[in-house]
Structure 1
Amino acid sequence: MLHSHQLRGAFKPSDTIIAKKQFDEHHPLFHQVVVFTGVIQSMSRQDACQIVADFGGINGNSVTKQTTLLVVGNPDHRTPTNQKSSKELKAEKLSSQGQEINIISENEFIFMINLTQAKTEQ
């Protein structure tokens, strides 16, 4: 289901619809406040956000004091090559101030999802 503003092309991760009512409380995404930065190569940003929601995570639009996980994709056209995005820089700053925030790559995110799916299929 799309919201009216999504039809106009303005996707906001926090608007992802949570379809499930019960979640695996032991899943690494459960209750994580997740923000994506950069270009996600393996799927659309909307699909990535839906996966987070389906595992009981919360999607954030930007890095805040509530963020617990930042998934870093490839730099987009706005970020010069070999430089960190503003979201990554902010996450590092908050981490250095004592906030518990994990910064992982897209590959680590995919591994986390695949590992969990493999366990549920056994």
Structure 2
Amino acid sequence: GKPKNDTPHRGLSDSLMTKLVFDTEKNILGSNWVYKKENQTRTKIKDIQPIDVSKINIDSPLYKQNIVFTGKLKLFTRNQACQLVANFGGTPQQGINKYTNYLVVGDTSFCPTIKGGLTGKQKKAQEKLQKGQNIRTITESVFLDMLNEDRD
């Protein structure tokens, strides 16, 4: 037969302990801390504005460029990357359209919806390129080089 288990269920005490751990983490991390998984938050492109328009360098390779991101970036969240684009005088975009100049591709290996090795944005960029649009697909490291280019 089954071994006898004399330990009563501790649901309430487990819940109280979890709440205590959560409150302790919240106190350590500060009052603005909110738990959100990265993939649960969508970038709100309309909210991204340059931090200081007077500091935009018109010689930056990102200046007046429309840039879309796909995949998981290693060094930035999507919001941070979009903010950087705006700070350098570019325009971050949610999706590929006829104005898009660059598609920056991060790590796509985690994405279960990829078919044929490409994200939907990569496929759309290829279609636009084949139709004659001047759109470049670049890696995150090339994007980083572009950020640093105007600092030389």
Q: Shorter-normalised TM-score: what interval?
A: 0.7 to 0.9
In the alignment, the residues of structure 2 paired with residue 99 and residue 65 of structure 1 have an alpha-carbon distance, to the nearest angstrom, of: 7
Q: Flag the 1:92–1:81 CA change in 2: closer, same or farther, 3 A.
A: closer
In the alignment, the residues of structure 2 paired with residue 10 and residue 70 of structure 1 have an alpha-carbon distance, to the nearest angstrom, of: 17
Query: How many residue pairs were aligned?
Result: 111
The aligned residue for residue 88 of structure 1 is 122
TM-score (structure 1 length as normaliser): 0.81
Cα drift, residue 82 of structure 1: 6.9
Structure 2: stretches of 5+ with no match in the other structure: 1-39
Q: How does 1:94-113 map to 2 (within 5 A)?
A: 94-113=128-147
Q: Flag the 1:38–1:53 CA change in 2: closer, same or farther, 3 A.
A: same
SS state at 2:72 partner: coil
TM-score (structure 2 length as normaliser): 0.66
The aligned residue for residue 50 of structure 1 is 83
Q: How many percent of aligned residue pairs carry the same amino acid?
A: 32
**Contact 2:67–2:85 (CA<8 Å) still a contact in 1?**
yes
SS state at 2:103 partner: strand
**Contact 2:101–2:134 (CA<8 Å) still a contact in 1?**
yes
The aligned residue for residue 12 of structure 1 is 44
In the alignment, the residues of structure 2 paired with residue 78 and residue 13 of structure 1 have an alpha-carbon distance, to the nearest angstrom, of: 25
Output the aligned Cα RMSD. Answer: 2.0
In the alignment, the residues of structure 1 paired with residue 147 and residue 42 of structure 2 have an alpha-carbon distance, to the nearest angstrom, of: 26
In the alignment, the residues of structure 2 paired with residue 14 and residue 92 of structure 1 have an alpha-carbon distance, to the nearest angstrom, of: 26
